Structure 1
């Protein structure tokens, strides 16, 4: 079994889901009392959030590279960044270490294509919805047509993530707001919707959408187990 290196704490709420899923999935496959062999570096998210909103991406790149180096030195065989937004720095992280990085967008896109979908709605932080590092990868590497919410809906989705979900707060009115955003994406032609922030799965479930939802947290964590159990 390979050792998974998890870069987490962004937020710890979703990182806890990663830890749960990789261990449950490993046990499901191997039986007995097997669990995942993994290391986690967990950030204090307050500092990460501040740097994100201040646009200090160079500083964020340095702390992310340091985390990756620590995990590699600790014995990780590959890396998993437990957040969609911080994949903006995936190339910087990869360049700092000699072990591979499992990019969250790739197993998500493969699962979508395997299901026969081409037009996808994307929910996430404003950074993920508006910048090219994520939707550009989906479009250019995987040939998907990505639809993002309009400006007002993007603001609602972003604020609920940072003001509620990263704190573990799940509110009925916020679920209704997300349902409305999803319905508008569907009306614009989305055949499915990517939950492109690892906290959204805490709020939105399959029954909240008329089209399939692709939960990046679960997809990414299961892909990590695939890699950990893959024979060298």
Structure 2
């Protein structure tokens, strides 16, 4: 088994999901007492979130690049950046390491196409929904993402940062998110394009096929470890 590096903490809530899902999938594949061989660097999210809000993506990229280099130094043979939004600085991270960064956008696009879909509704942070870095990555695989309207984007962003990233799962916010999905026209699927959205919603809540980017990313990581 190859060692996988997790660059997490963005947020700690979703990084917990990564750790649990990686171990569950390795145990399911190998059986017995097997578990995932991992190294984890978990950042303090508050300074990173401040850089996001200020548009200091160069600073954020430098900080995460340094963390990735530490993971490589600790023996990681590849890296999972445990967040969708911070893949905006994927190139800065890749420039600091020799090992591959397994891109969450690629893993998510593969999962969408595997379900026979190509026009998903993207539920994510405002950065991921409104900027091109993530949608262009999906588009490169033939996946054209749709996004909610402005008011819904703003509300979803607040749900993520003010609630989910802080461990708060609110029933009213869940109803609001489901209403956003119900209002979408032309979508053939839904992407949980923020690693915390799966804490609020599940496939059981939604008629359209769902791709949880966290779980798709985990599957890609397991394939690397065991492939």
Does the pair score TM above 0.5? yes
Aligned to 2:163: 164
**Runs ≥4 residues deviating over 4 A:** none
| Structural RMSD (CA) | 0.8
Aligned to 2:189: 192
CA distance in 1, matches of 2:118, 2:44: 37
Aligned to 1:181: 180
Q: Which stretches in structure 1 are left out of the alignment for 5+ residues?
A: none
Q: How many residues align?
A: 227
The question of whether the paired residues in 2 share the 8 Å contact of 1:183 and 1:210 is answered with no
CA distance in 1, matches of 2:113, 2:202: 21
Aligned to 1:32: 32
CA distance in 2, matches of 1:13, 1:111: 23
Aligned to 2:226: 229
The question of whether the paired residues in 1 share the 8 Å contact of 2:129 and 2:153 is answered with yes
CA distance in 2, matches of 1:61, 1:145: 26
Shift of 1:50: 1.0
Shift of 1:210: 2.1
TM-score by length of 1: 0.96
Shift of 1:146: 1.3
User: Which string of whole-angstrom CA distances, capped at 9 and with x for unpartnered residues, describes residues 54-79 of structure 1?
Assistant: 11111101101001100001100000
TM-score by length of 2: 0.98
SS in 2 for 1:79: strand
